[in-house]
Amino acid sequence: MKSDPVSESSQVIREEVEELRKSGQGKETRIRTLQEDQQRWIASGAATGEGEGKAREHSDADSHMEQLKEKEATLKNSLRAQELRIQAKSEELLSLQEKLCGQLSGNELLRQAVTNLKERMADFEMDVCRLKEENAKIVETSREKEMENQALQETNRLLSVTQREEASQHAAMREKALALEQLLREKEEGETGELNRLVAAVRSMQEKAAACQRERDDVVLALTQKEMETCALQKEVHQLRERELRLTQELESGRHLTAEAQDSRRREALASEDRVAQLREEVMVLQGKLVWSSAAMQKASHGARLQVESLQEQLHVVTQQKEETALRLAASQEEGRHCDQTLASLKLELAEWMEKADALEGNLKSLQGRLHQTSADLEEKEDQLQEFKKQNEVQQEILEDTQRKLMTLVSQSEGMVDKTLLMRLFVGSFQAADAERQEALRLMASTLGIREDQLWQLHSQVPTGVPSGVTGGPGSKSAPNTPAKPNHQAVANRSFSGLFIQFLEAESHSAFPPPKPSAHDVKPPDSAGRGKLAKKQGPSRLNATPGSTP
């Protein structure tokens, strides 16, 4: 965008250089034409001059030649100065173009760096948004976990209440068993052995129920410990939920495992409740059997044995389940340790990412500072370009002013002829010799724009009875000792020659520089008449004064 005015200014400078070269070529052609005119003028002066004034004319011609040489030298010096200026301007133009190319390349690099930084900033913003969403999800899951923990606490409280109720029921059953023992002792003294066995069986059942209750208490304690551990983990997760990054899958897997463990514990608690209910039913059955033991003691003893065997099997199953629960608790503890390790690694990774983000922010600030500095440099370069343009405009105005002055001088100097002098010369030429008068008259008439018929009419009006001595012919040599009386014609002839000599002296000692003829003034010498016309027109062209009339 900024290269357009610079290219336009370079084109303007090139056009100025071309114009200066053309003007130099025109000046060289004008110098050549001046030299040719000088040679022609010397030849014409040598042909038309008299014998007595040859030395003075040669001296005047030499002085005029020296002046022309000096003018030629000054013109050559001016041409050399213009060529040096052209070279300096071309070098400045090349340097400006190189500087602009360097600035444009630097601007392109800076623009690319800015675009890359913008893209990276957009990526960082997307990552931040995604992390915020993940943190929101983690907060929601932690809230769900808190709700689940509250539900587990409520279930534990209900289990403790049910355990207390069962303990009270067991105490009531023990009292009833003692009462039944006393009744059996009083009613059936003969069957003491079987009753003792039944009492022993009842005691063993009571011991087994107490052992089950102890195991249930141990399970409840383990559950409470696990709940405490889960509460601690939840607190840690709540503290680190703002710093967790890119680990949602592992956290979800850990949550699934904890949910499965909790489900298994719930199932175990439900199974224990079912077993307790079954034991209660069995105790009720035993109580019925003891009440009706007078009718069928044998059946009751046989049923008691079967029930004891079933209870042993159930106790064996309960012990196996207890071992399985212990193994599961150990596995869950290992999983908790693994979760702790993963959380520590996540903390380290989060710290590394925060350090990287700080470093990137510092790089961004440094790049922004460099961008501001480059923009300031660009503004300074633009100001310098504006100054260069103003200087070029001033130089162009100076050149145009000089060209206008030169053209005005050329237009004023070319085609300026002293018509009064030429009219006097034309009138005096009638008194010249016959051999030279015809050609001179014709050339001067053509120069002044007089037609040929008017020329012959004037020629016919010349008096025929004029002596040859007066006209300057050969008859003047017959009487050298007798001085001729000057008449009107002799005065006219003397005035013609004097005016002609004065004209040559004025042209040789002219203070104004000779005009530079245009292209149409230099005519090829294709005929003798045109060559003579050029010889006659040479002095008249040199007599170009600002005060003469065109």
The most confident of the ranges 364-378, 400-414, 519-533 is 364-378
Q: What pLDDT is recorded for position 485?
A: 38
Q: What pLDDT is recorded for position 397?
A: 87
Residue with the bigger pLDDT between 475 and 228: it is 228
pLDDT exceeds cutoff 80 at 298: no
Other residues' Cβ atoms within 10 Å of the Cβ of residue 271: 13
Q: What pLDDT is recorded for position 339?
A: 76
pLDDT exceeds cutoff 80 at 376: yes
CA 441 to CA 456: how far, in whole Å? 10
CA 35 to CA 135: how far, in whole Å? 100
pLDDT exceeds cutoff 60 at 475: no
CA 240 to CA 348: how far, in whole Å? 12
Query: In the predicted model, what is the mean pLDDT of residues 354-366?
Result: 83
Q: What pLDDT is recorded for position 347?
A: 81
Percent of the chain with pLDDT over 90: 0
Residue 209: C-alpha distances to residues 76, 169, 213 (Å): 135, 12, 6
Q: What pLDDT is recorded for position 282?
A: 72
The most confident of the ranges 40-54, 343-357, 517-531 is 343-357
Q: Which two tokens stand for residue 4?
A: 């357009």
Q: Which two tokens stand for residue 90?
A: 């071309």
Residue with the bigger pLDDT between 400 and 86: it is 400
472: left (phi over 0), alpha (psi -120 to 50) or beta: left
Band of the pLDDT at 507, cuts 50, 70, 90? low
Query: In the predicted model, what is the mean pLDDT of residues 319-347?
Result: 81
Residue 279: C-alpha distances to residues 6, 113, 314 (Å): 105, 80, 10
Angle formed by the axes of helices 528-542 and 3-48, to 10°? 110
pLDDT exceeds cutoff 60 at 546: no
Band of the pLDDT at 189, cuts 50, 70, 90? low
Put simply, whether the predicted model's pTM sits higher than 0.85 gets the answer no
Percent of the chain with pLDDT over 70: 57
Interval 142-185: pLDDT, tens:
788 888 878 888 887 888 788 788 878 878 888 887 877 777 77
Interval 203-245: pLDDT, tens:
887 788 788 778 878 877 877 887 788 777 777 767 766 666 6
CA 359 to CA 354: how far, in whole Å? 9
Sign of the Cα torsion 116, 122, 126, 132 reads positive
Least Cα distance to 279 among 310, 237, 301, 321 occurs for 310
